[in-house]
Amino acid sequence: MAAAEICIVVYGEYWRMQPNACQPRDVWALQLLILFFAMIALLFMERDEAALVGLVCIFSDVGAFAFGKIIGKHRVHSLQKISPKKTWEGYAGGVLIAWLAGFIVCKLFGIAFTPGIIAYIILGGPIAEIGDILGSASKRQLGLKDSGEALAHYSVVKWLEWPLKGHGGYLDRLDSISLGIVIFAIINNIAL
């Protein structure tokens, strides 16, 4: 509750100082709130739960990318300004891969299939996709193009150039995972 109050006060002060800046279109501010709550929620999560959330989100992103590249033909027209390459096939593939990854991670790590875990596995893929869209909207607002190529320009990590080139990159993972952590914490507390 204290963390929520701090976020609301900080956001409120920012809005008071720059009233024209904080409109619903300012998705980046929402991203900061989500990231803040994710850091707090992560402190209370078990290691295997954090691994589940992270892997479901990562596999959802990778599945959406792969399915979209391989069989994606139908663009999501409502997202053309935010993420013009999004396809319905990519979305469906990301959700399916996330479901599969969630059940495999639970089996490998010995995570019990409680109602909260099952609910998260079912919702994890769509949540990761929403996090990805929020991240894309934030990057568009802030004028950032593609975080996937940012690390590849450093000579120390030149080997990252091929796997990250044109594939969202680490900020997309952070966007998906941070929203996933927040939603997991909510679902897990409701299911208790």
As a whole number, the mean pLDDT across the chain is 76
Choose between 103 and 19: higher pLDDT.
103
Q: What are the pLDDT digits (tens) for 90-119?
A: 899 999 999 999 999 999 999 999 999 999
- Residue where the block lists tokens 């980046």: 28
Which of 57-71, 83-97, 138-152, 166-180 has the lowest average pLDDT?
Answer: 138-152
pLDDT exceeds cutoff 50 at 73: yes
Q: What are phi and psi of 87, to 5 degrees?
A: -125, 160
pLDDT exceeds cutoff 90 at 32: no
pLDDT band for 81, please (50, 70, 90 cuts): confident
Choose between 48 and 175: higher pLDDT.
48
Other C-beta atoms closer than 10 Å to the C-beta of 17 total 9
pLDDT exceeds cutoff 80 at 18: no
pLDDT exceeds cutoff 60 at 155: no
Question: What span, in angstroms and rounded, lies between the C-alpha atoms of 42 and 49?
Answer: 9
DSSP symbols for 77-100: GGGTTT-TT-BHHHHHHHHHHHHH
